[in-house]
Structure 1
Amino acid sequence: MNMRLPVVPTASQAAPFIHPVVSDAMAPTYRAGQHSVICLPVEAYVCEGIYLVDGELYRCERAGNYVEVWRDNPAWTKYRIHIDLFNDSPLALVVADITVRNSIGQDIMRAAA
């Protein structure tokens, strides 16, 4: 098995950032207005997990020369993207999530994003 080490951002790249969940495409895992995620910018696919790809959240898993991409909401279909096309997209790996407890927290999260 060939293990790939995570791509560590360089000093010129952005630091981890907060991204608000703006749709229910990842429900029930994340819901709009109730969650935000902390994302780490990466240069390429690192490991199985949830990625922010072009501003949208997707669950991703490597499958040979492709990455299988899907949403947790069953209304969305799973599909495959060639690894090169995936890696050419602006990417960030979700490393933590934040549950917003009330409307004050929602306002703070919106302001932080």
Structure 2
Amino acid sequence: MDTTFSQRVLEAALSIPSGRVATYGDIARVSGGSGQAARSVSGILARAHKNGHTNIPWHRIVYSGGRIWTSEHHDNARRKLYEQEGIHVDAQGYIKNFSTIRYSF
């Protein structure tokens, strides 16, 4: 059965195990897209979330180089999730030992 790029993006995001992270680009590439397709990953996952996929591990999807997405509203909650999974984030919002915990699909 042939799956769409959007379906493959969702499957890839859901497959990232606890304690590991992947970049938007990693997800795009494993889903069959180019590096430019990384920009569409967050939109695809946001639509999936609105359509009932509420178990997307957003905190495990990071920017290239290991920088986390955060905002004033979400910072404490995100950092707590990272802490619970043994992922260490520095004060600038970068994951320590990023290359070690980066998930390889």
TM-score, length basis structure 2: 0.25
Instruction: Considering fraction of residues, name the structure with more strand.
Output: 1
TM-score, length basis structure 1: 0.24
Instruction: Considering fraction of residues, name the structure with more helix.
Output: 2
Q: Which has the larger radius of gyration?
A: 1
